[in-house]
A and B are shown apart, each in its own frame.
Chain A
Amino acid sequence: MANRTAVQDTQVLLPEQETTIEERLSDILSSYQGREDELVPILQHIQQELGYLPEPAIKQIAKFLRLPEITVFGVATFYAQFKLVPTGRNVIKVCRGTACHVRGGARILKEVEKQLDIKPGESTPDLEYYLETVACFGACALAPVVVLNDRVRGKMTTPKVRGILNITASSKSTDTVTK
């Protein structure tokens, strides 16, 4: 659940601050030995710190591990966890597991999509929300389940979806959710 700590830092990641990124990358990489099997943990670490994997990170990791950039890119795009673009501060994950599906998870997802006007894998334009689907949280007994910023919320209904999004929206005083 790398995203939680990541979200506060997303803001500093603007292109003109690339030097900062590279410094921070070196900082992260210095705690590793440079072994090939460290690739996934390094990617996880960087994403945890930066919120996503910026292009310089891919290049720097490749150099560090003496791997072709394409290999690093290939691994980063293979696993669902990794993101190559910045994501919204609040991460809402909708479970698409079997139990959730049987209990109407598809309608829950649709409601979130409608409320935020984004599709899974997208962030709202103000980077307030990021929406993703997850294969299963393993909280099947409470299906359908939604996870908002790592807090699991069970037995969801469409009004409850509106409820949690409104609470977050008002506490963050954003105009993302106006519907």
Chain B
Amino acid sequence: MNFKQIQSYAVSEWEAMLNSQKPRILIGMGTCGIAAGAEDVAEALNEKLTQHHIQADIIRVGCIGLCYAEPLIEIIKPGKPSIFYGNLTPELISEIVDDYLVGDNPRPDLALGTRGDGTLDGIPRLFDLPVLKRQVRICLRNCGNIDPENINHYIANSGYEGLARALKMKPQEIIDEVKKSGLRGRGGAGFPTGVKWQFCHDAPGDIKYIVCNADEGDPGAFMDRALIEGDPHAVLEGFLISAYAIGATEGYIYIRAEYPLAIQRLRVALKQMEEYGLLGNDIMGSGFNFHIKVKEGAGAFVCGEETALMASIEGARGMPRSRPPFPAQSGIWGKPTNINNVETWGNVSAILQRGAEWYANHGTEKSKGTKNFSLAGKVNHTGLIEVPMGITLREIVYDIGGGIPENKRFKGVQTGGPSGGFIPASLMDLPVDYESLAQAGSIMGSGGMVVMDEDTCMVDMTRFFLTFTQAESCGKCIPCRWGTKQMLDILEDITNGKGKPWDIELLEELAQSVKDNSLCGLGQTAPNPVLTSIRYFRDEYEEHIKRLHCPAAVCKGLAKAPCSHTCPAGVDVPRYIRFIGNGQFDEALAVIREKIPFPSICGHVCPHPCEAKCRRGQIDEAIAIRVLKRFAAESGNGLWKERAKMAPATDKRVAIVGSGPAGLTAAYYLAKQGHAATVFDALPEPGGMMRYGIPQYRLPREVLAEEIEEIRNTGVDIRTNTRISSMDELFEDGYNAIFLAIGAHQGTKLGIEGEDSPGVMEGVSLLREINMGNEVRLGNRVAVIGGGNAAIDVSRNALRLGAREVTIIYRRTMDEMPASKEEVEEALHERVRIEFLTTPTRMESKDGMVELTCIRMELGALDASGRRRPVPIEGSEFTLDFDTVITAIGQMPEAPEQFGLPLIKGNTFQVDPDTLATTREGVFTGGDAVTGPATVIEAIAAGRKAAISIDKYLGGSGEIDETLVPPEEVEALPEIEEGEKPRILVPTLPLNDRLNNFAEVELCLRKEIAIEEARRCLRCDLEED
């Protein structure tokens, strides 16, 4: 058969399949599909079809790229658009057969999307979904559409037309065509492909070799595997075209042994090519002879480097050599050799099939065409994608990738594997092209893209990459062999809490030296993760080195248990949870008391950053740490008092301005260190925001009063109704030190027209009025502007004060809302409405109502915090009428300037973050007055820090920690069965009992339930390193 005959045979087979009256079912059988359970699904499908006597064409296809939705099946019923079903199980596929193949219900609830002509009700078009809409399929054109083990499928889809065309051209014409297409090497460095071919073409020599580099060794990359598994002929066609253009008669495919399925598909493809005369002698009757050998790589990352790869093919250790001579002059066995990456060949076949001009229409001026990426890590839609060059990273992560799972904060992406670098969230609008990525300090690389979120530690990630490159360094040149080792040693020290102050500079110096002096690409690029992580995340290094703190709670040497490491006050969470699990509630309370004086208050209102990092959450759900703390506080007795520290009196006196959690905590520990502590507060009752901000239905007054009483019991003198406005007077009165903990009691203005109109109120002052017991009239329709905890508190208060309709107006979406999730849920449960993506622009008093003009927003570029910035949609203004409008968008300290200390952004005090000392001797400050509005636990942590610094300042040791429970014997770690125990549900007051009163909403756990929940703890603290 000549090629024309082969083509018409292939086309007729293909069309017969398309026009068949039998249903056609495509099953994704890439490695990821199989790993996700595609074999089991296929088996269930077969059984079900046999059971119903349904004849169907079943085609095993490669990966379409939606790995997150595997196992994935496409069903085409004659005359209907095809339907994709994802995340299948044997049970679900059986249902689909029953409902759609036997019946006629396409099950929109299980369908991902349709493709082809026509639409089906309730099912979107697959390529209209954000995950696919921005993708352009050139290289991956057939992946997921054809049977990769059937060459006819490839040929029927224009396959080998490019080769047929090329064989009629002169080699130079092919090279010119590739040059014109603008194609650059997809292995990572981006050298123009046509130019590379030209070198090898022009090199003298009868024998030339060509090599396909399929040694995809970058951890985090699987593009080449997916391409070979899904469409091996696309690569092989390009390979043949190049061989002909260069004048090579022998080719090697160097593929890593870790890809058994890809190797198998490749071998099948080669056999079929031979059968069709597309490989061997006199290909397509052109006189062109070409033979291919498959070489399985034996596991060495350095063999991705071309000179090392050639050494490996020759049978030697895969070690690089210096260039020149370049492989184009002297490669395998000293003969001219051309090496390109798998993806490059996949593009070459498309270019010869459809022409250079068509190809050059895609991409940017300097980076033409598309690029495949394997999108993985902390992103919702993990998978294989092909995007036009020039697309932004944000579009990849948010539109295609669907954002970050569980609404965690996005930190950045890593491109190019161990040779690449980190790109922070703030640079997410960077276009993806060779130059832009290099400028940011990373590289395009072969296409691995790993998304990182707040739970990823950048120092740990850098250490991870250096562990890899250090192990993979071939050892030939000193800079790489020793440099990577030295960098790794330093990084290990830092992650183990042994970092030295000069380590960052030393790392930078080493990195530069390894980069400049290494022999091959491995060593020259190995420092990239170090350099970019320091460039963009230097603060994380500093946290590790200076404060022995891993913000992501990942580094095991620093963060034994991520919960306690994340707790600002360092409460030993696993230990008290363990005591609760053992029924030892007195001990549990005492453990909490070792670090904080407000166990019950925290048990009621703490936003529990610990739970977000709880390792149990990786298995099913986090431990309900906060409510367990409340349980311990309410069930434990006074055991903690037995060993409580009380130092003999010193003659030192400390004045504390402000009786919020920061001020009271500092006073408590200072009193226990023997100092006379006096707390002043302008308001009638102590407690600060705990008394005048947090609503009673969350924190009953008795709870607050009891814990403040324990503070008084240490001898702290609390003077309310006393406003302090001058520190000089305090010093004159004989105080030796002052702690300013004045909080942030002043609401921030929106700065829009009409904000001072009657009927417009400010949130914090309103909460204060309510909590003072003053009468407040809000009317029926209330709007609250803001998205933080204060906005939620105001809304829920408004309902309790009789408002019928409360609407929160927030400029971003639920995902970005800073308020704690459980508070938002309770508010919604109590029927608070939230208008997302809306911001007020104007307020006006009209007929006793407030007319609020708002504008709709949409999310745009990312800001430095990794959240998407809301942008107004022009012309979308609308108005709403309310009885009252309350602004709750932020707070700042009240008149801090009167203390004569330097202020910074947000009108807060400037301090030394480690000691909380101000510029004035003997004056310290902390809490909301420094951080802006934060949480009770952060204020407690500030109070502790202040107590330590002030005690030291007054000549003490600064040792405020207590051992209230002597160390206990601990039994071995429990074995946890997955899904066996979901997190407990916290009992709450029924909705009808909540409104028109301020009764506490959340109820305390029953003993048995608390013990059960505590036993879910994985006890990370007991793990050995």
Contacts and interface: CB of A to CB of B under 8 A. Distances in A.
Interface stretch (A10-18, A19-27, A141-149, A167-175): A141-149
A114 B300 CA distance: 27
B258 A140 contact: no
Interface string A93-114: 0001111111110010010000
B298 interface: yes
Contacts of A143: 376-377, 382
Contact of A36 (B298, B314, B382): B314
Interface stretch (B32-40, B156-164, B643-651): B32-40
Contacts of B374: 138, 140-141
A135 B256 CA distance: 11
Contacts of A141: 32, 67-68, 70, 222, 374-376, 382-384
Given A37-B314, A80-B300, A141-B67, A99 B376 contact: yes
Contacts of B259: 138
A88 to B, nearest CB: 18
A107 B553 CA distance: 14
A75 B382 CA distance: 37
Interface in A14-56: 35-41, 43-44
Contacts of A137: 31, 222, 258
B220 A136 contact: yes
Nearest to A163: B978
Contacts of B319: 78
A98 B376 contact: yes
Contacts of B216: 138
A127 B300 CA distance: 26
A153 B258 CA distance: 14
A40 B317 CA distance: 9
A134 interface: yes
Nearest to A96: B219
A96 B417 CA distance: 13
A137 B383 CA distance: 14
Given A99-B377, A102-B456, A139 B31 contact: yes
B318 A160 contact: no
Given A157-B978, A159-B977, A135 B301 contact: yes
A99 B450 contact: yes
A8 interface: no
Nearest to A138: B222
Contacts of B417: 98
A156 B456 CA distance: 18
A98 B219 contact: yes
A82 interface: yes
A37 B35 contact: no
Interface in B280-319: 295-301, 312-319
Given A102-B378, A150-B260, A145 B35 contact: yes
A119 to B, nearest CB: 13
B257 interface: yes
A2 interface: yes
A140 to B, nearest CB: 4
A85 interface: no
B776 interface: no
A18 to B, nearest CB: 25
Contacts of B34: 152
**Size range of the interface on B?**
35 or more
Interface in B427-485: 448, 450-452, 456, 461, 464-465, 468, 472, 474
Nearest to B383: A141
Residue among B298, B319, B414 having the largest count of chain A Cβ atoms under 10 Å: B298
B464 A158 contact: no
B618 interface: yes
Contacts of A75: 315-317
B257 A142 contact: no
Contacts of A107: 615, 618
B976 A159 contact: yes
A96 to B, nearest CB: 7
Interface in B46-92: 67-68, 70
A100 to B, nearest CB: 8
A163 B296 CA distance: 33
Interface string B251-290: 0000001111000000000000000000000000000000
A142 B298 contact: no
A37 B313 contact: yes
B238 interface: no
Contacts of B613: none
B217 interface: yes
Contacts of B615: 107
A143 B113 CA distance: 25
B220 A98 contact: yes
B1011 interface: no
A98 B258 contact: no
Given A98-B219, A135-B219, A140 B468 contact: no
B296 A44 contact: yes
B222 A153 contact: no
B619 interface: yes
B745 interface: no
Interface string A49-87: 000000000000000000000010011001111100000
A138 B258 contact: yes
Contacts of B32: 139, 141-142, 154
A4 B220 CA distance: 25
A100 B377 CA distance: 7
A79 B318 contact: yes
Nearest to B319: A78
Residue among B260, B296, B377, B615 having the largest count of chain A Cβ atoms under 10 Å: B377
Interface in B354-389: 374-378, 382-384
Contact of B978 (A37, A138, A159): A159
Contacts of B618: 104, 107, 157
Contacts of B222: 136-141
B220 A40 contact: no
Given A37-B314, A78-B317, A102-B456, 4 more contacts: A39-B316, A75-B315, A139-B31, A139-B32
12 contacts: A35-B315, A40-B296, A41-B296, A43-B298, A98-B377, A99-B376, A102-B450, A135-B468, A138-B258, A152-B35, A154-B36, A159-B619
Interface of A: 1-2, 35-41, 43-44, 71, 74-75, 78-82, 96-104, 107, 110, 134-143, 145, 150, 152-154, 157-160, 162-163
Q: Give 4 closest A-B pairs by Cβ, nearest first.
A: A141-B67, A138-B222, A80-B299, A98-B220
